Amino acid sequence: MWNEVRDIPGEGSGYRLQKVEGPDGEVRYIVYIAGTAGGLFANQSAFNNVHAVGGRLDEAQVKELEKLIPEGAEVMLVGYSQGGMDAQNIAQSGRLNVTQVVTFGSPVRSDLEVPAVHLRAAGDGVPGSAAGVVGPYFDSELAAKKDPSIFRGESPSHRPNGFNGIDVHSNGYGELAKSFDREADNGIGRQKAAVAGLARFQGNVLSEKDIR
C-alpha cells in the first residue's frame, strides 16, 4: 500500500483507483490518495491542507470516483499525509461504500465511523499538526492517545535527540509499513482486528487509473 500511495504522479489530481478481484471472487476498489505536492496549483497543494483539516472534500475527484465505482461496491481508501485526511473525510461523508481506511502520517478524525488503521512514525510532527484547529481534527491528538487502530513505530530517519524536521515524514514510512505488514501477515498484536478488513482487498488488480 505504501509503495502505491508514494508513487502517485505529482502532476495529476493525486488520486489513483484500482479495481481488485478479492480472494472470494468479489470485485472491490482501492483508492490511493497522495500527500501534499509542490506548487500552488497542484490539487494536493499546501493550500488544500486547509480544506482537508476543515473536513472539506476534493469534490471534483469524489464525483469522478462516483462515476467510476459501481454503487454499493466496497471501497478501501489509503492516504498519506494530506491524503490521509482526504480519505477520512470521504469515508465519513458516506458518499462511497467505504469499508476500510488506511493512513500514513496523517492526523486522525476522532469521529470516524469506518474501520481504520493509522500508521505513525516516531518523530513525525505532521500527524499532530491539526490538533487545536477548528474542525473535525480539533481533538485529534487526544483521540490518538487512546485509539487502538494506530500503529506506532520507529524509522531509520528518526533522531530522538535531534531535530527531525520533515525527514521522518518524508522518509520514515517505508520501514514502518514493512513492520505493519509483518504483524498483519502473522495476525498478531494491534493488527489482528484489522487484518480481516484489509484481506478483503487483496487479490488480482484488474485495472488501474490515475485520476486527472
CA angle 93, 33, 157 (to 5 degrees): 125
H or E segment and range at residue 139: none
Predicted local distance difference test score (pLDDT) of residue 146: 59
* Lowest mean per-residue pLDDT among 83-87, 134-138, 194-198: 194-198
Which CATH code fits 2-202?
3.40.50
% of the chain surpassing 90 pLDDT = 36
For 31-69, what is each residue's pLDDT tens digit?
Answer: 999 987 655 445 555 556 678 888 899 899 999 999 999
Q: pLDDT band at residue 123, thresholds of 50, 70 and 90? A: confident
Q: Is 200 or 73 the better-scoring residue by pLDDT?
A: 73
Strand, coil or helix: 149: coil
Q: Rounded mean pLDDT of 132-151?
A: 72
The top-scoring range by mean pLDDT among 2-11, 33-42, 201-210 is 201-210
Residue 43 cell numbers, joined? 490539487
pTM of the model: 0.85
H or E segment and range at residue 102: strand 98-104
- The distance of Cα 26 from the centroid of its chain, to the nearest Å, equals 23
Mean pLDDT of the chain: 81
**For 33, which DSSP code?**
E
Q: Which residues lie across from 211 on neighbouring strands?
A: 15
Q: Is 62 or 150 the better-scoring residue by pLDDT?
A: 62
Cα–Cα distances (Å) from 129 to 4, 66, 69, 72, 190, in that order, read: 24, 30, 32, 34, 24
Q: Is 21 or 58 the better-scoring residue by pLDDT?
A: 21
Q: Is 191 or 172 the better-scoring residue by pLDDT?
A: 172
CA 158, CA 168: separation in Å to the nearest integer? 6
pLDDT at 178 over 60: yes
Predicted local distance difference test score (pLDDT) of residue 162: 46
- Domain segments of the chain as ranges: 2-202
Q: Rounded mean pLDDT of 151-167?
A: 57
CA 85, CA 103: separation in Å to the nearest integer? 8
Predicted local distance difference test score (pLDDT) of residue 165: 55
CA angle 148, 142, 55 (to 5 degrees): 95
- The distance of Cα 187 from the centroid of its chain, to the nearest Å, equals 21
Q: Rounded mean pLDDT of 187-210?
A: 78
* Phi, psi for residue 6 in degrees, rounded to 5: -70, -35
CA 156, CA 176: separation in Å to the nearest integer? 9
CB atoms within 10 A of CB 2: 20
CA 164, CA 157: separation in Å to the nearest integer? 8
Residue bearing cell 499525509: 81
